[in-house]
Amino acid sequence: MINALRGMKDLMFEDAKRYIYVVDTASKIAQRYGYNYIETPILEETALFKRSVGESSDIVGKEMYQFEDKGGNDVCMRPEGTAGVVRAFIQAKLDRTQNQKYRFYYYGPMFRYERPQKGRLREFHQFGVESFGEEAVEEDFTIIQMVADIFNALGIGYTLKINSLGCPECMPKYRDELINRLHSIKDDLCSDCQRRVSTNPIRVLDCKNSHCQELLTDVPKICDRLCNSCKSDFEKLQYMLDRSSIDYTIDKHLVRGLDYYTKTAFEFVSSEVGAQSAIAGGGRYDRLVSFLGGKDTAGVGFALGVERILELVKMPKSSREGYYMGIMTEEARDILFDIAHKKRVDSKVIVEYAKKSLKAHLKGADRANARYALIIGEDELKSKSVWLKDLETKEEQVISVNDL
């Protein structure tokens, strides 16, 4: 027997229902915020993620499904969604339009070769949005508000963490100060952090090692070194969150470790999803479009991990829906199919092909969670009618095919 690969999982039955519900709920909310759907290829050039995610990151260094295709191209399965959307944005020359705002949402599978655990798979699904061309911090707030709306609609509790990563004016000075401080404690840090000191020092702050976090207590934090512009935006973001009654905490260790990330960084976390507590995260990346060869364009977005929240979703109570149709005489088969096809114009219809007793059909209708059981027997066939039962009200009637 051939099984699914380790870390990859089939979606069916209740999980499939929950997945569709999450995606539909998030999509409808994104549309209300003015976002349009975009779908990018699962397979992209490896260079796209080396330039966007960063060669020093664990994703690029250890986790990408990377290979050479039959044409000799270096390609990989996408490990995240933002880079592909930015690539599509540039390829469509949208970065060359003046004073235009573009807002996209997407969902689908991502791939990372990492150790599977609760809430973390090698093939996983994300829902995300990307906004281009809006520099105002109000857009950062609006996206955070959208994520909160999605989780509230899904019945999921969360804690919001925010930080500011500065800008090209204040970040380089802070980075130099941080590197000097990290060198003084480098030998006591974990091996990953020792490597990051020289390759990606900002990421040291985000280390999950408890010993490293103790050592980092007195290390300078970027949100304490902001220039006037960044400080003003960060204070405005807090004001807007306070005004909207969205609870949050300032996490000075919350970072994005690449140079094109600027100002706002945020993360939604839950204590109900195991060790991987983050259920959504995002921030502003005003320099990513230019990093990937486009014109300078402001950008901000988020992504949420669908598998991480599936078990937390509060599904609406399932109500009976549509028709279950069956026959008690073989001669009624043709007319049953005619009726089913017409009703499918606006209703869900499940047809039982086999001739069965009324009792057996009613059991089938119950299993299908149908609202109506529509049965044709010999008497109904002769009178050109159907026997119809409302399985919620228990009302029964015989109705002509024309009136149906």
Q: In whole angstroms, give the CA distance from residue 74 to residue 59.
A: 16
In contact, 303 and 82? CB cutoff 8 Å: yes
Q: In whole angstroms, give the CA distance from residue 229 to residue 379.
A: 81
Report helix angle 171-185 to 191-199, nearest 10. Answer: 140
What's at 148, amino acid-wise?
A
Q: In whole angstroms, give the CA distance from residue 63 to residue 58.
A: 6
Bridge partners (DSSP) listed for residue 44: 76
Judging by DSSP bridges, how do beta strands 43-45 and 36-37 pair with one another? unpaired
Exposure b/e, 230-260, CB count within 10 A at least 16 = b = bbebbeebeebbeeeebebeebbebbbbbbb
What pLDDT is recorded for position 93? 97
**pLDDT per residue of the chain (404 residues) written in tens, 0 to 9:** 999 999 999 999 999 999 999 999 999 999 999 999 999 999 999 999 988 887 666 677 678 999 999 999 999 999 999 999 999 999 999 999 988 999 999 999 999 998 887 768 999 999 999 999 999 999 999 999 999 999 999 999 999 999 999 999 998 899 889 889 988 898 888 988 888 888 888 888 888 888 898 888 888 888 899 999 999 999 999 999 999 999 999 999 898 766 678 999 999 999 777 655 899 999 999 999 999 999 999 999 999 999 999 989 999 888 899 999 999 999 999 999 999 999 999 999 999 999 999 999 999 999 999 999 999 999 999 999 999 999 999 999 999 999 98
**Nearest alpha-carbon partner for 316 in 19, 15, 18, 32:** 18
**Which of left, alpha, beta for 71 (phi over 0: left; psi -120 to 50: alpha)?**
alpha
Q: In whole angstroms, give the CA distance from residue 160 to residue 111.
A: 26
CA atoms within 13 A on the CB side of 332: 29
Tokens 């404690």, located at residue: 185
Q: Phi and psi dihedrals of 113, rounded to 5?
A: -90, 90
The tokens for 366 are: 């119950």
First to last CA, the chain: 48
Count CB neighbours of 63 within 10 A.
17
pTM of the predicted protein model: 0.91
For the chain, the farthest-separated pair of C-alpha atoms sits apart, in whole angstroms, at 93
Domains in the chain, ordered, with CATH? Answer: 13-164+246-310 (3.30.930.10), 323-403 (3.40.50.800)
What pLDDT is recorded for position 110? 97
Count CB neighbours of 212 within 10 A.
19
What pLDDT is recorded for position 274? 62
Classify residue 293 by its DSSP letter.
T
